Structure formats: C-alpha cells, structure tokens
Amino acid sequence: MAFQVSRRGGIDPFIVLQVLRAAGERAAAGKPVFPLQIGQPSTPAPLGAREAAKAAIDERVLGYTDAPGIEPLRRRIAQHYRERYGEEVAPERVFVTTGSSGGFVLAFLAAFDAGARVVLTDPSYPCYRNVLAALGIETVQVPTGPDTRFQPTPELLEKVEGPVDGLVVASPSNPTGSMLSPDALARLAAWCHDRGVRLISDEIYHGIAYGMEEATAAGSPSAVTVNSFSKYFSMTGWRVGWLVLPEDLTVAVEQLGQNLFLNTPTVSQYAALAAFECREELEGNVRRYARNREILLSALPAMGIGDFAAPDGAFYVYADIGHLTNDSMAFCRRLLDETGVAITPGVDFDRERGSRTVRLSYCAATEDVEAAMDLLAAFLRRAG
C-alpha cells in the first residue's frame, strides 16, 4: 500500500547539516577534519551556565514551565534590552523558544496565513525559505549584492511585484556577516510598519561584531525580534532562544507555543539565565573570532579568493569562487575529500547564484582555521 508523504515535507535539505554529516563520517574514520562549515562555536556553554545547569538538575524538579518561559529569564532578557540598547521591553513581550529555530516557527505561524508572501534576500539563511515553504507561505527572493552590503533596502522592496506581507532580515547576516546600520534598520522598520508588512528581525549574531554598532528592531511596534543563546552565548545544543513580540502577537504566540512545544527545555532555561553573567568568558570567544577573521581576510586574497565583502559581524566569509568553479557543491566535496577542510557551498544560501560561491565559517579553534587556510592554498595550487 502506498502511503502519502505530504508536499509540505518535501522541502529542500539544510545542506550545511549534510556537509556536517560528511565531515563527521570522515572524522569517525580517523581522518582529520577542519570544521569551517558550520556556524557552531567550538567552545562549550560558558562555565557559569554549565554550573547552573548542574545545580538545576540536582535541586529542581525540572518539570514543565509556563509556555513563554521562566519568569526570571524573561525579566533578565528584558533587562538586557534596557542595558544594551536602551530599549524598554516589557517581560510580557519576551517569549523563550527552542533556539531561534523554534522562534521562527512560532513567529511565522502567528504572523502569516498560508498563502501569504514574505520577502527574503538572496543570499540568506536557508531555513527561512524552507520553513516558510513547509508552512505554505510563499517566499519572494530579492537578490542583493555588495552594493547594498547584501541587505535589503526600501528601494529594493519598492520593486517587488505583488502584495508583500512580511520581510525577514538578519543583521549580522548569515552567510555574509554584513550588518544593517542603526539608520538602515530604522528605515526598513518604518517602511514595513507604514505598509502593514510584518518585519521579522533575526538578531541571533548580536554580540559578535567587529566595530559596527548593532541595532535592534525591538522598539518597532509591529516587528518581531528573534534571538538565541546559540551563537554569542556558545550554547547551540541547549536549544534556547527568544522572541521579543509586538503587543498584537503575544496571545497568538503563547497559544501556539502552548500547543506546539509546551515549553523550552527547562534545564536550558536555567543555564541561559546564568549565561548573561558570563560576559568575560564570552568576550574572550569574540576576541578569538576577531583573530580568526583577520587570518581569513589576509589568507584568502593571497590565494586568489578576494571577491567578498569583509564581514561586519557573525563569523562567516561569503566568497565568490566563480573563477575556480561553477559547481560549488562539487568543489566543497572535493576539498573535503582531499584535504579534510569542510566549507559550505553557496547553493544553500542562494539557489540562483550560489553555484559560484562558498561560505567559510571562522568560529573554530584558531589552529584549525590556520591549518585550513594552508590546506586550501595547497589544494588551489594543485588544482591550478
């Protein structure tokens, strides 16, 4: 008997995770791997967070929590907005989620009906496109380039044909690391608000910036702000993030959250609360990313890979390698097979132009980043 598999389940894979699996298989076979493929800090959760988790396991029941999260964490997140951005956010607007990924599902479901049209930039984080597709929401891909620092502008949005219900932006962005200035984000937020377009602002890389000021959309009356403990806080596997919601979405998100997830893992919430007090350790991680960034910025052009915008934040370089290949997938596979250097083909982020681009992530240990640059240079010399 043939059973049905839903069309919604037929979305594209998240290729980064497939590269991760191939790299894992190589490592399991005892071969070296230099992990520049995934945006995953090579450090564990900060010590204070790990200690808080151990204490919570020993001392608490760790049952269900209120769907929006434990009260002290919601209050601490609200305090973070006051301290960091000078923005007053009521704790009732904070909703703790299973990573930002869980936050996106809730935000998309609460903000958009099936058939709505949401604008994404090309290149952008592939799960936006894939999750929206699984939810029956149409995506409109707007190509961006170095002229707008790979970010959308009101001028680009004006050119979109047909109705627009939403816009997803990320600053710093994955895969380019480019950022929106406070002015540019404010202009986008105002453009969206005036037109009834729901802005979803992915701020998951905040805290990892190299000089440029970070701005939040949390002050906009209609935008949804998405954030996470995965990147700056180095807690990917703990699956904890948060939304700052506009007033009109708080009830919908709470009811969706109650039904879909019940709550975010309780132990992770206690660990996340403690992570806010681990600044020194976390700033040490950011200094390492800055050193690694410098290594790439000098090594890549020296080997002929110079067509990229220096990243303002996050830990990625998104480079054009059109002079080397028009099949970035095959290029990355060969590079991994022959050298153990794992990087990500651009097709994950831009299905039209990504066959000529790759993303290198530099949050790994500095020795691994240095070794990867030497191996990549030798690989290109052999190829060329």
Ligand X SMILES: Cc1ncc(COP(=O)(O)O)c(C=O)c1O
Chain residues that interact with ligand X, rule: CB under 6 A: 39, 99-101, 125, 170, 174, 202, 204, 228, 230, 236, 241
Query: Minimum Å distance from CB 371 to ligand X?
Result: 23
Nearer to ligand X, 65 or 227 (CB): 227
Q: How far is CA 218 from CA 111, 149, 209, 376, in A?
A: 16, 22, 19, 41
- Measured from the CB atom, the residue of 35 and 39 that comes closer to ligand X is 39
For 1-63, the DSSP string reads: -PPP--STT-PPP-HHHHHHHHHHHHHHTT---EE-SS---SS-S-HHHHHHHHHHHHH----
Give whichever of 101 and 266 is closer to ligand X, judged by the CB atom: 101
Q: Which is nearer to ligand X, 99 or 166 (CB)?
A: 99
Minimal distance, residue 199 CB to ligand X, in Å: 15
Alpha-carbon gap, residue 111 to 120, rounded angstroms: 15
What is the distance between the alpha carbons of residues 377 and 8, in angstroms, rounded to a whole number? 42
| Shorter beta-carbon distance to ligand X: residue 127 or 305 | 127
DSSP letter at 149 equals: T
- Cβ of residue 174: shortest distance to ligand X, in angstroms? 4
CA-CA distance, 113 to 165, in Å (whole number)?
9
Nearer to ligand X, 234 or 355 (CB): 234
Amino acid at position 189, single letter: A
The enclosing H or E element of 293 equals helix 279-302
> In terms of CB distance, is 101 or 153 closer to ligand X?
101
242 vs 331, beta carbon nearer ligand X: 242
- Minimum CB distance to ligand X, residue 16 (Å): 8
Neighbours of 263 (CB within 10 A): 19
- Calpha distance 164→154 (Å, rounded): 13
The nearest distance, CB 155 to ligand X, in angstroms, is 23
**H/E stretch holding 383:** helix 366-383
d(C-alpha 234, C-alpha 26), whole Å: 25
Block residue for tokens 């453009």: 191
**Which residue, 125 or 318, has its beta carbon nearer to ligand X?**
125
For the bound state, the minimum distance from the C-beta of residue 202 to ligand X, rounded and expressed in Å, comes to 5
**Residue with tokens 């202009």, as numbered in its chain:** 187
E strand map for 134-271 = 138-143, 166-170, 198-202, 224-228, 241-244
CB of 234 to ligand X, least distance (A): 11
CA 315, CA 285: separation in Å to the nearest integer?
11
Taking CB positions, which residue lies at the least distance from ligand X?
99
